[in-house]
Structure 1
Amino acid sequence: MPIYVVDKPLGLTSHDVVGRARRILNTKQVGHTGTLDPLATGVLVLCVGGSTKLVQFMERDSKDYLAFISLGAATPTLDAEGPVTETAFVPELDAQAIEAVLQGFTGPQQQIPPQYSALHVGGVRAYAVARAGGQIELPARSVTLHELKLLGIYGSLSAAPRTFCPAPDGRWNASPVGITIHLPPPLGDFPTLLVWARVGSGTYLRSLARDVGAALGVPAHLSGLIRTRAGRFELSQAAPLEQLGEAAGLPDLSAIDLPILEATPEMALHLRQGKRPTDARVGRFTVLLSGALVAVVDGDGQHLKVVRAWSEEAGESGT
């Protein structure tokens, strides 16, 4: 079954997009590979039908973002949903000092998630407690921020660029021509940093905005966020949600970064029956991967199954 890459519109939750996709594609089997907040836009990968089984292998993919961090104002949600609950004067900003702060957040980190998040604590969602006026002690989580690059400093969000173009190295830069982005209405005229970010799964860019502001000695919030890449898929590949019905789906194999083993008819039959197949080529995958995952393609080149390499000597296998 196909995979679709959608440019999530501003103001919709990821769940909203999945609901609309189910209606457009006339199927209940639709899943996504990484939540985007309502005020974020960009790449949302939808797996349809049998492809939903691949979500578990894709949701840990690294992701790239254009993040707008407005300094001098804090909000309870840590983003532009507001309201502004704290303001402070922002001294003159130095690009080198900001770059140094950003470098301090690269690599493995312990990050405290936002109070307004979908995390379960004691059987309830954190955002449900926050909306009711409460607060939950959210433990810090291990995340990895692979790269953070300052693209610009602007007097306000309104002065920041709206058109971007991808570079050959995967980064995105402001450009006179390219893809036009959409940002939430600004909460005020606050100095704004534009940061390109490549992060591991589970990273909250809202928390990064809060923490960058704290490192600079001022309150801050995430005033805009665009996901430019999720795993193998780029924003330039994404279709507008309203055009999903006319979009061409992508094959399963385009979504996962795994070694591929083409199954013989006998091996494919055994896999479909849940049996442990015998194949002379499996040994080299065992040596190479030591129990890691392998994508096995059925004889027709379409049906995909992900299995673990196994060892005949140890008598181990897995699917």
Structure 2
Amino acid sequence: MINGVIVINKPQHMTSFDVVSRMRRILNQKKIGHTGTLDPMATGVLPICIGDATKIVDFLMDRTKTYVCEMKLGEATDTGDQWGTVVDTASVPTLDLDIVRLAVAQFVGEIEQIPPMYSAIKINGRKLVDLARQGVEVERKPRKITIYSMDHLTFDRDKIGFTVKCSKGTYVRTLCEDIAKTLGTLGHMTALTRTSSEPFTMDMAVSLEQLEAEGAAAHLVSIETALVHFPIFAVELDEQHRKMLDNGVKFDLKAFADPCFSVAEMGMNPSSVSESLYRLYVNQAFYGICMDSAGKRILKKRFDD
């Protein structure tokens, strides 16, 4: 059985689940899941967890994403993107790059965003997108998201391009609509490519056709490497405590910290990100994930079995 992550460069016209289904056929393996939905119109980085790596899906979905986006001013669509039906139009005021830059800057930081109707969010057990297709619109509560940066800004009459680095849960389609409103008009997204889903980047991505031709081995990222964004915590355990850990006994690992463990010798770089989750190494070997809880550092997830 294959265990690890393969980063797919998702093509247009495929859902994330379509990619998972295709990979199940290519790899002849059922235990496969993705780490964050990309709309059929969107392309780019889609990490796919295989085998035991499906245990880390939640740890990867919460990470920062980066997108390259294009949008058009003057038209609103029902879906918020160019694949939808135009439902309203508005004139585009006289703008220049400096005006657009000032408008875009207002969205950097922690903001509130109302999720679009055409989304997989469920309300009362029903997906918003299913309701939207029936012509039903329901009230959605704003959600807090973080826009870390918006740069590489371009502007040409009624078209805007930008790169956005954002938190989980950000709808770039909605961001485009909100930017247009700030500029005094309407707008919708015309292109979207995800270039990174931390810690995976586009240069790691492979097409489905390439994967089918070359096989999984050349493109498989280990579970250990997939968690590189977590800092390392290493312990040295005697036989008794190792058995306790293997049997799921929760005890404070900080008392067994290994001062001799060398990240450099492992050929890895420590994460600069402050986390309450850590890559756990037991007696110099990768073991799983540990976490801080109630003043203790305890095992959360084991991967060495």
TM-score scaled by length of structure 1: 0.80
1:271 shift after superposition:
3.0
Counterpart mapping for 1:39-54 below 5 A: 39-54=41-56
Query: Corresponding residue for 2:230?
Result: 258
Match of 1:126 among 125, 128, 131: 128
Letter of the aligned partner of 2:220 in structure 1?
G
Structure 1 residue 68, shift from structure 2 partner: 0.4
- The answer as to whether partners of 1:291 and 1:309 remain within 8 angstroms in 2 is no
Shift in alpha-carbon separation, 1:298–1:14, aligned structure 2, 3 A: farther
The 5-angstrom pairing of residues 128-207 of structure 1 reads 128-155=130-157, 191-207=158-174
Contact 1:231 1:255 in 2 (8 A): no
**Which residue does 1:211 correspond to in 2?**
178
- CA displacement at 1:138 relative to structure 2: 0.9
| Structure 2 CA distance for aligned equivalents of residues 268 and 45 of structure 1 | 32
One of 249, 261, 268 as aligned partner of 1:275: 249
- Tell me how far apart the structure 1 counterparts of residues 166 and 132 of structure 2 sit (CA, whole Å): 26
Q: Which residue of 1 aligns with 2:288?
A: 305
Quickly say closer, same or farther: Cα 1:2–1:291, change in 2 above 3 A.
closer
CA distance in 1, matches of 2:137, 2:75: 20
Separation in structure 1 between the aligned mates of residue 282 and residue 37 of structure 2, nearest angstrom: 31
Displacement after TM superposition at 1:262 (Å): 4.4
- Greater Cα offset, 250-259 or 65-74: 250-259
Task: Give the Cα–Cα distance (whole angstroms) in 1 for the partners of residues 219 and 298 of structure 2.
Answer: 36
Specify which of 270, 280, 289 is matched with residue 296 of structure 1.
Answer: 280
Q: Distance in 1 between matches of 2:152 and 2:140?
A: 29
Q: Which moved more, 1:82-91 or 1:40-49?
A: 82-91
Higher mean C-alpha displacement, 237-246 vs 97-106:
237-246
- In 2, distance between residues paired with 1:269 and 1:79? 54
Corresponding position of 1:103: 105
1:81 maps to amino acid: W
Other structure's SS at 1:27 match: coil
Aligned to 1:27: 29
Alignment size in residue pairs: 277
Q: 1:63 to 1:25 in 2, by over 3 A?
A: same
| 1:235 corresponding residue in structure 2 | 202
Match of 1:93 in 2: 95
- Equivalent of 1:84 in 69, 83, 86: 86
Shift of 1:298: 5.4
TM-superposed deviation, 1:100: 0.6
Deviation of the 1:64 alpha carbon = 0.6
CA separation in 2, counterparts of 1:275 and 1:241? Answer: 42
SS in 1 for 2:86: coil
Please name the residue that 2:264 is paired with.
none
CA contact (8 A) 1:232 1:254 kept: no
Structure 2 residue runs of 5 or longer lacking an equivalent are: 260-272, 301-305
Measured on the aligned residues, the alpha-carbon RMSD in Å equals 2.5
Asked if the contact 1:102–1:149 (Cα under 8 Å) also holds between the matched residues in 2, the reply is no
Change (3 A) 1:194 1:268: farther
- Tell me how far apart the structure 1 counterparts of residues 234 and 258 of structure 2 sit (CA, whole Å): 14
For the residue of structure 2 that corresponds to 1:239, the secondary structure is coil
**In the aligned structure 2, how far is the partner of 1:297 from the partner of 1:3?**
20
Whole-angstrom CA distance in 1 between matches of 2:96 and 2:166: 24
Aligned mates of 1:290, 1:236 — CA distance in 2: 26
TM-score, structure 2 normalization: 0.83
Write the letter of the residue equivalent to 1:72.
Answer: G
1:7 to 6, 9, 12: 9
2:231–2:274 Cα contact (<8 Å) kept: no
SS at match of 2:219: coil
* Structure 1 outlier segments of 4+, above 6 Å: none
Q: Give the Cα–Cα distance (whole angstroms) in 2 for the partners of residues 230 and 17 of structure 1.
A: 16
AA partner of residue 305 (structure 1)? G
What stretches of structure 1 of length at least 5 have no aligned partner? Answer: 156-190
Deviations 1:198-223 (A, max 9, x none): 00111100100110011111110011
Letter in 1 for 2:101: E
User: Alpha carbons of 1:315 and 1:208: their partners in 2 closer, same or farther (altered >3 Å)?
Assistant: closer
SS in structure 2 at match of 1:85: strand
Between the two structures, name the one with larger relative contact order (CA 8 Å, sep ≥ 6).
1
